[in-house]
């Protein structure tokens, strides 16, 4: 089931928009994530790694592999993935390959600067990075079938 029709896009927006005022994670939602993943007392780097891996999962959800299509993906899922990645960057830029790669991923989520918006490509690239640098965090978040 793809979630790109108007009704699905509207339902997803109803769920995700309150969590993303101005396109960023709300402070309350961020705290909820920290609590849910037992990260309240974790280092900023550990929090960032988890948010990065969650971003990877939501990028995959928005792709043609799950809820999107080859040329369209649910904006709410793509926006949520990008907001998670932005918060990870804010907490610990060191977990990213480079500032250029961070910018490229962000541009792809938004289709900025002529970037191809395929979230499958973004998810694959992010997943490869996470698998190389923080595999245990990634494996604790992604479904086993995606390994």
- Could you say which of 45, 118, 124, 125 is catalytic? 118
| Total number of residues shown for the chain | 147
Q: Tell me how many degrees the CA angle 72-75-80 measures, rounded to the nearest 5.
A: 135
Distance CA 143, CA 147 (A): 7
Residue 118 bears catalytic tag: yes
Is the separation of the CB atoms in 98 and 52 below 8 Å? no
Distance CA 11, CA 28 (A): 21
Distance CA 22, CA 16 (A): 12
Distance CA 125, CA 21 (A): 27
Active site residues: 118
């Amino acid at each position: 089931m793809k979630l790109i029709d108007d009704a699905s896009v509207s339902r997803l927006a109803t769920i995700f928009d309150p969590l993303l005022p101005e396109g960023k994670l709300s402070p309350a939602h961020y705290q909820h994530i920290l609590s849910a993943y037992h990260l309240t007392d974790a280092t900023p780097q550990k929090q960032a790694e988890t948010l990065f891996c969650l971003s990877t999962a939501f990028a995959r959800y928005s792709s043609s592999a799950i809820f999107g299509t080859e040329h369209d993906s649910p904006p709410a899922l793509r926006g949520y993935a990008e907001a998670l990645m932005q918060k990870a960057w804010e907490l610990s830029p060191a977990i990213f390959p480079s500032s250029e790669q961070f910018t490229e991923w962000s541009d792809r989520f938004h289709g900025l600067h002529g970037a191809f918006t395929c979230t499958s490509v973004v998810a694959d690239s992010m997943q490869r990075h996470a698998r190389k640098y923080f595999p245990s965090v990634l494996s604790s978040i992604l479904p086993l079938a995606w390994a």
